[in-house]
Chain A
Amino acid sequence: MAGLIIVVTVVLIAILAPVLAPHDPAQTNVVDRLLPPFWLGGTMEFPLGTDNLGRDILSRIIFGSRISLLVGISAVLLAGAIGMALGLIAGYYGKFWDFLIMRTVDSLLAIPNILFMLIILAVMGPSLITLILVLGGTSWVVYARMVRSETLSVKERDYVRSARAIGAKNGRIIRKYILPNVISSFIVIATLNVATTIILEASLSFLGLGIQSPDVSWGLMLSDGREYIATSWWVATFPGIAITITVLGVIFLGDWLRDVLDPKIKE
């Protein structure tokens, strides 16, 4: 439950960012740069302090939630959609398609996805869209695998066999019998993957290929702030805390969903 509360809060913050943020997240002010948080001698004007260009950290975290969540959620939706479709095809139709899809899955699984992303983003240039496409385009394999194996087992159940025997169309069987069985595991994995994606985005920022200014994401803030860890710790620590809390929330939500949706599922 705690997970749900955290996630809903973060989503609300992202939606209401323009209302909640006290400052324009891009507003620079060299005079007020690297101000500490208010309890360490800063002012209430910049409650969590300012960064190296004098931008308000609180406002940047609030606005950063938008891109971090956008990247996390859309990449997962994309990956989920591809993985679901290919997993169903592989599991349901089998044969050649199964072979082709599953061997592709095996190949992609053999290449560390951060390496994959590094190459594509470096060459194509890191934009928000590319980032989402690449994150989504490389992480679908997990879903495909899961959906395929669930499909295989459901397909052989008696009621599905009999439905086929009486001539139900493939589309209908998939919709009526297979999808409902797959969907709960799917949601659980997808939720957990949002967390992974948010962290991956931060790692890509470290390599200089994540979100690019003037957009702002937590990963970018964390990566930029590393230069100030020893001197102005607040620049990186607060976005770091934001990531941790969100990831924590998302993982708890995933665990909770698992218990609620299908107590049988194990990782």
Chain B
Amino acid sequence: MKKYVWTTVLGCGLVIAGCSSEDAGESGAGEPVETSDSKTLTIANGTDIVTFDIHDHNTTSTEAVHVNMFNYLLTNEGEEGFQSDLAESWENVDDRTWAFELREGVKFHNGEDLTAEDVKFTLERVANDDTLLEHGNYNQISEVNVIDDYSFEIVTENPEPALLNRLSRLGSSILPKDYIEEEGWEVFLEEPVGTGPYKLQEWRKDDRLVLEANEDYFGDEPKWEEVVFRSIPEDSTRVSELLTGGVDVAVNIPPTDVERIESTEGVTAVQSPTQRVMMMVLRTDEDSVTGDPKVREAIDLAIDKQAMVDSLLEGAGTVTRTRITPGNTGANEDLYGESLYDPERAKELLAEAGYADGVELTMSAPNGRYLKDRESAELMAAMLSEVGITINLEFLEWSAFAQRYQERSFEDIFYIGYGNSMFDASLGLERLTTKSAEGETDYDNEKVNELLLEAEQNMNAEERIEQFQEAQEIIAEDRPQIYTFQLDAITGINDRVEFEPRLNEMFYADSITLK
């Protein structure tokens, strides 16, 4: 019987040991660089993609995956301007009409040819179906007229100077009309078909999404045989995967870990600006304490944004006094890279506003949504208390925050980070027009409103930029939003690949290359 006990224990031990030694050989665990010329690229994201319905999400990280499977008509390359993708050429015919020529010989993953009918199907769907999340960014399109298989015209409701910006971002991918109409959306969502360099091999939700090279791609031959997007929610786990060579690229590296990654052989961390600007949004109606411009200025002056960037973000950000950062049409670069900090003046302003003995305000902030959001809010509250503003901090988990945001029911201040996938000032400033600001900031500046509404439809590009820039100057002085900093993305990269992160945070697999 004694034997029995020990055989059980030993047996169990051996089973484990046996399995492990066998597997170790196969999986190569513990040998991170073994796969150094593997043609499989592995990217670690913080979240899984939301859906394959390109029109029904508004998530940058999902789009970053989609861009490998689908193509836009054109891409927006910032300084270099718009570049041809599925569209070979385009032309602004009149204020409301744009003519496009499609590239010929493009095939979807199922072998179907791409034609102007597909473009019409895709764009009119998102322009007309108001249940889709991206509807608001496309409903300016009134119709798409097919001229022949490879030419079409897009007609907008009103003059739409930012149409090309709209067509080169999230939701702009062209879908296969026949496939979807014949098979239905359900099938498409399971087995999506695009024109891109990679096609779907497998999607295991919350685990990995595997793409394989599309041999018939119309552009340059895909550089990878396989591209794997893994979803790893826990930051420290993602960093560990990078350090051990489990993944080639890892997103959202906490600033704290940069040094550690840099000092590890075989991996590096790169910082690159993103479109996301963190800001406090304040109520400006007369009944609010923050309705007094002096109070808003005092809040701005009390916060040392550069110190926040230096300490919390360890340098992974840039202070700014505008939301429209360089790389966007209409950016006012004079306001970028600058911030105001003068706690003495802040105290004076508060006294002038009648709050010499201090004042209490409530600030709501999300917890865990943006890089160091909670710590930022805590630090700002501490800085504000130095000048006599007591902040009641209210932290909300994202869903709860989103609900309050929609209801516009925050009290004095809320802290949020806005992105801008359109690379145009119109999207970034729209929330400060009198109509859109209602109930949120209640910002109502006649001049700003006029400038923004005019710029919205101004087909004269230069004049339009000036209008946006002027509006930004007024906003920076008026402070319905107080900008803290533009966030950088910190991406961890295995030395076997070369990769320069993009401003739009997209992961074009083919822009990541083996060294």
Contacts and interface: CB of A to CB of B under 8 A. Distances in A.
A126 B397 contact: yes
Given A28-B379, A213-B378, A231 B235 contact: no
Interface stretch (A70-78, A132-140, A191-199, A222-230): A222-230
A125 interface: yes
Interface string A227-250: 111111000000000000000000
A232 B375 CA distance: 17
B257 A208 contact: no
A125 B396 contact: yes
A265 B312 CA distance: 53
A213 B395 contact: yes
Interface string B239-259: 100000000000000101101
B393 A229 contact: no
A53 B396 contact: no
Contacts of A52: 256, 312, 375
B240 to A, nearest CB: 9
Tell me which of A27, A125, A209 has the highest count of chain B C-beta atoms within 10 A of its own C-beta.
A125
B399 A122 contact: yes
Nearest to A29: B382
Contact of A231 (B256, B379, B395): B256
A208 B397 contact: yes
B374 A213 contact: yes
A214 interface: yes
Nearest to A126: B397
Interface in A1-50: 26-28, 30, 33
Interface size class of B (residues with CB under 8 A): 20 to 34
Nearest to B234: A226
Nearest to B399: A122
A97 B379 CA distance: 54
B397 A230 contact: no
Nearest to A209: B397
Interface string B367-383: 11000001100110110
B369 to A, nearest CB: 10
B257 A212 contact: no
B368 A231 contact: no
Given A208-B368, A227-B254, A231-B256, A213 B236 contact: no
A109 to B, nearest CB: 27
A125 to B, nearest CB: 6
A28 B382 contact: yes
Contacts of A226: 236
A208 B367 contact: yes
A54 to B, nearest CB: 8
Given A214-B378, A226-B236, A227-B235, A30 B307 contact: yes
Nearest to B393: A214
B15 interface: no
A54 B382 CA distance: 12
A227 B256 contact: yes
B259 A231 contact: yes
A53 B378 CA distance: 9
B397 A213 contact: no
B452 to A, nearest CB: 35
A230 B236 contact: yes
Given A53-B379, A231-B257, A212 B307 contact: no
Contacts of A213: 374, 378, 393, 395
Given A52-B312, A231-B256, A231-B259, A212 B236 contact: no
A53 to B, nearest CB: 6
Contacts of B312: 30, 52-53
A28 B384 CA distance: 12
Nearest to B239: A230
Given A122-B397, A125-B396, A212-B395, A228 B256 contact: yes
Contacts of A230: 236, 239, 257, 260
A245 B399 CA distance: 36
Nearest to A206: B234
Contacts of A54: 311
A213 B363 CA distance: 13
B400 interface: yes
A212 B394 CA distance: 9
Nearest to A124: B400
B256 A125 contact: no
A215 to B, nearest CB: 10
Nearest to B258: A231
B260 A231 contact: yes
A52 B375 CA distance: 8
Contacts of B310: 30
Given A28-B382, A52-B256, A212 B367 contact: yes
Nearest to B310: A30
A125 B381 CA distance: 21
B311 A30 contact: yes
A125 B311 contact: no
Nearest to A28: B382
A131 to B, nearest CB: 13
A171 B21 CA distance: 66
Of listed B239, B395, B399, residue having the most chain A CB within 10 A: B395
Contacts of B259: 231
A122 to B, nearest CB: 6
Contacts of B395: 212-213
Contacts of A209: 397
Nearest to B376: A53
A122 B399 CA distance: 8
24 contacts: A26-B382, A27-B382, A28-B378, A28-B382, A30-B307, A30-B310, A52-B256, A53-B312, A53-B375, A122-B397, A122-B399, A125-B396, A125-B397, A208-B367, A212-B395, A213-B374, A213-B378, A227-B235, A227-B254, A230-B260, A231-B256, A231-B257, A231-B259, A232-B256
Interface of B: 235-236, 239, 254, 256-257, 259-260, 307-308, 310-312, 367-368, 374-375, 378-379, 381-382, 393, 395-397, 399-400
Given A214-B378, A214-B381, 5 more contacts: A30-B311, A125-B400, A214-B393, A229-B236, A231-B257
**Top-7 shortest CB links A-B:** A30-B311, A28-B382, A212-B395, A227-B254, A208-B368, A231-B256, A30-B307
